[in-house]
Structure 1
């Protein structure tokens, strides 16, 4: 059964505008000097009015446990969360924030790490670069942006990271451009790559990294994957106690479970945050999320978007 997650009412102690219509926010606990620890790649759920929940990567230094730092890009065509934050949040504001979760963790190893970020996708990648630099592990960070005047967190990157490890590529400065396919053409022994950014960037990197061995390429996406448009079919969920929940073709597994009285938490409801993740005991799932690894897909399930064929048994 899903358990409630810790929600903390944190105070905004700093809020600064960055290029690219990005607001960088520092959050601290009003009474406790230390926040729950996080690893590079982690994100938090920010709870907004009217029940809205949005996920933002922590881009600060994981060793600084007194504050969380998030960077929010205003999306005028989005669902309204980023606009509310930009228009409302100021120093002294209070934001309900979850304890950190991580679906994009660095894998242990001593080999070189290639970090690729596009636009606001720099947020989890920056935390990874900080962690690798602190551990004196070999890495390269390649940051792809439209132009210097539109690049958020540029000053932070230049001040906090070793210059020899960082390459910044501006679309409007030909001398800085980098072909992603060429960058990923040759893989060093034991190398891992991590990437995050807008859909077009994600597609380019994904294609360029297809020849890398399984388990060496890791990504986090802000958008759900696209599917072939095949109409969904009804299926059945069997709960651990033996009760059966029918999922029609017109509804999601998450909605059907909630209607049956299963108090399953959810946030994005489009398969990118992992809040509603649950254990799968048996069955033939149709995974449609952008969270679970290939290994996890053998025993985990994301009911907000994923479906199944026949009977799916969940540990709920």
Structure 2
């Protein structure tokens, strides 16, 4: 879709909040909390941004983009070039971070710009009258994006704000997450250090109760990549060199496999595993999905991996 920027405002933490509308259609495709869209940039890059607006207001999509000068260049271009009146090609929403329809309490954790999908979840839970707690962590109040929206739209009794530079607001994640309620569901999103800390603190939570979305794949300090082999359903053999991704090797072999981020965070290129030992490096698949699904843009394998392609 070619959407027009109808509003753009700066938020603390070097974040640009952008409203997007269709010039001809009054309503955009519906989305659920946790959804994201692909934004296609002029140089051919594709970047994923969570929808942080109200899922009941389909007159517009709202995204929030944190400027990352040492990133891959997409956020810097958006900050420098996007203004009211600009047109951006935007995909329909996709959701790899759905909010489960459960009756038990929900715990929402956000670190910095990770508030974007979490805010949509909090809105939905509040509208449904379901119990939830939102814990939002940043280095300081002056760097907390979307705080004014939270204070205006959410019940303050369900929100806890935590700042590194305000000792009275600090919260130890290990203590906060030490005793999970038997029917609680946890959702979290944020920068890599925050994600790793929550992952450690929830290692003892029951399987299926912890859900996350990462903006970057986790760092891997294991041995250098080794070559491996992919086989397809028809028996075609696809060698994958040590310096080549499985996605690139599959494309070179003529496999038409869609991809978007090519960084292991969007799930567009996900496919099935029939046999073999994958080395998962993505930030998308759940523990259960990793038994039979594969993200070829970033993950690898040992020996021979047979894919459902």
Q: TM-score range by the shorter chain?
A: over 0.9
Matched, 1:273 2:254: no
**What is the distance in 2 between the residues matched to 1:201 and 1:227?**
16
Matched, 1:53 2:46: yes
Query: Pick from 282, 288, 296: which aligns with 2:281?
Result: 288
**What is the distance in 1 between the residues matched to 2:123 and 2:271?**
31
Structure 1 residues 104-253: aligned runs within 5 Å:
104-253=97-246
Structure 2 partner of 1:301: 294
Query: Pick from 27, 33, 39: which aligns with 2:20?
Result: 27
Q: Secondary structure at the match of 2:195?
A: helix
Q: How far did residue 39 of structure 1 move?
A: 0.9
**What is the distance in 2 between the residues matched to 1:29 and 1:65?**
10
Q: How far did residue 239 of structure 1 move?
A: 2.1
Q: Say how many residue pairs are matched.
A: 309
Query: Pick from 58, 82, 105: which aligns with 1:89?
Result: 82
Structure 2 partner of 1:5: none
**What is the distance in 1 between the residues matched to 2:145 and 2:114?**
10
Q: Secondary structure at the match of 2:7?
A: strand
Of 138-147 and 233-242, more deviation after overlay is shown by 233-242
Q: How far did residue 186 of structure 1 move?
A: 1.7
Q: Could you tell me which runs of 5 or more consecutive residues in structure 2 were left unpaired when the two chains were aligned.
A: none
Task: Give the TM-score normalised by structure 1.
Answer: 0.94
**What is the distance in 2 between the residues matched to 1:110 and 1:285?**
35
Q: Secondary structure at the match of 1:55?
A: strand
Q: How far did residue 278 of structure 1 move?
A: 1.5
Of 276-285 and 164-173, more deviation after overlay is shown by 276-285
RMSD, aligned CA:
1.3
Query: Pick from 287, 291, 311: which aligns with 2:304?
Result: 311
Structure 2 partner of 1:255: 248
Task: Give the TM-score normalised by structure 2.
Answer: 0.96
Answer whether contact 2:50 2:63 (CA < 8 A) is retained: yes
